[in-house]
Amino acid sequence: MNCRKVCGMRWTCIYIAGLLLSLSLASSAAITVTGADNQILTLAAPAQRIVSLAPDLTELVYAVGAGKQMVGADTYSNYPNAAKELPRIGDAFRVDLERLVALNPDLVLAWRGGTPATVIERLRTLGLHVVVIGNARLTDIAHNLELIGRITGHDSEAHAAARNFLHDLNSLRKHYAGHEPVRVFYEISSMPLYTIGGRQIISRMIDLCGGRNIFSDLKELAAPVSLGSVLARDPQAIVTGSDGDAAARLKEWQRWPQISAVHADRLFSISSDLLARATPRILQGGKQLCEDLEKTREPRKASSG
């Protein structure tokens, strides 16, 4: 049966064919991703107005070349410099919903383990498109780059960034593979004394460097611990973030010379922005961490040589 008989006239057929083609193209242009909370989100086109609820996520957006699509970020997003100029919507626990909605975002990026589930649910109730990003391993950073690249329309840039990250990560891993283990205590804060569990991204980097987080058995990402438990597990290196009163925190440990790390003067501080954020820059913090832990091994190498 020819088109004229079906449609009644040639131009009607052309119109219908064009409409079907447009619908087909629109369908193929749709972007579907699955967040770390297993929620599926489909956008008709790449997001053009993005709000980030964590500094890690802000960095990832810029890392895939989508920085110009950012319209808002959390209080602590400070990298790259362009991120400092973005309108602020509060932090993960105190989101200014009115200001966020006023930014008219077509995508909100939330952090699993950082953004409370109640905040995420509230944003979705308001009709906002939310993607939850998370990580359980260092290699997940590459996955997150790819995901954000896809949903922002920067697939090729994201793929290149992910490939370069994995290459450099594997190089660092190979360099320190097989090195003598070092017991490490990572201090988040001193009052109360807080540390990281084995699933935290810093703990993953400690493992890569040949270290052993003395509190890797903690199920929480971060938790309070007692001074007595630190003394009992006797770390050979103590590491803290370089922000705030890092020098004072490390100096406080001098009161406990029986700790191997204190006795050997193996007390280190590393920028929290570099070591605690799940972004490509974590390799800079990781390289410093690995070098610091290598210093802890040097006296033993000399004595055994």
Mean pLDDT of 268-292: 96
Q: Does the residue 160 lie in any domain?
A: yes
In a domain, 12, yes or no: no
Average pLDDT over residues 250-261: 96
Which one of 131, 166, 201 terminates a domain? 166
Residues 42 and 157 in one domain: yes
In the listed set 166, 192, 207, which residue is the last one of a domain according to the structure? 166
Among 144, 166, 188, which residue terminates a domain?
166
Domain assignment present for residue 230? The answer is yes
> CATH no. for residue 115?
3.40.50.1980
- Selection from 180, 132, 145 nearest residue 35 by Cα: 132
Residue 93 CB neighbour total at 10 angstroms: 10
Residue 22 domain-assigned?
no
The C-alpha R_g of the chain, in whole angstroms, comes to 25
The pLDDT-based confidence of 246 (bands split at 50, 70, 90) is confident
Note whether 39 and 119 are same-domain residues. Answer: yes
Instruction: Spell 281-301 as b/e; 16+ CB within 10 A means b.
Output: bbbbbbbbbbebbbebbeeee
Domain co-membership, 191 together with 129: no
Residue 202 and residue 148 in one domain: no
Q: What is the pLDDT of residue 301?
A: 55
> Left if phi > 0, otherwise alpha if psi is -120 to 50, otherwise beta: which for 248?
alpha
Same domain as 141, residue 36: yes
Q: Is residue 24 part of a domain?
A: no
Phi, psi of 238 (to 5 degrees): -120, 130
Residue 49, pLDDT > 90, answer yes
Query: Which of 29-38, 46-55, 205-214 shows the lowest per-residue confidence on average (mean pLDDT)?
Result: 29-38
Asked if residue 2 has pLDDT above 70, the reply is no
pLDDT of residue 300: 59
Pair (159, 194) in one structural domain: no
Q: Indicate if the pLDDT at residue 24 is higher than 90.
A: no
Domain count, the chain: 2
Instruction: Determine, yes or no, domain membership for 8.
Output: no
Q: What is the mean pLDDT of residues 253-264?
A: 96
299 and 277 in one domain? Answer: yes
At 93 the pLDDT is 81
Same domain, 94 and 200: no
pLDDT at 242: 85
Q: Which residue has the higher pLDDT, 103 or 94?
A: 103
pLDDT computed for residue 114 by the predictor: 86
Kindly indicate the confidence band of residue 119, based on its pLDDT and cuts at 50, 70 and 90: very high
Range with lowest mean pLDDT among 18-27, 60-69, 81-90, 121-130? 18-27
Is 46 within the bounds of a domain?
yes
Is 4 inside any structural domain?
no
- Residue 186's nearest CA partner among 210, 213, 168 is 213
Residues 161 and 182 in one domain: no
Distance of CA 300 to the CA centre of its chain: 35
The reported pTM is 0.86
Q: What is the mean pLDDT of the chain?
A: 90
Phi, psi of 108 (to 5 degrees): -120, 130
Can you tell me the mean pLDDT for 150-170? 98
Q: Measured between alpha carbons, how far apart are the two ends of the chain, in Å? A: 90
Mean pLDDT of 62-70: 98
pLDDT (0 to 100) of residue 305: 53
Range of the domain at 85: 31-166
Q: Are residues 151 and 207 in the same domain?
A: no
pLDDT in tens, 10-23: 544 444 445 544 44
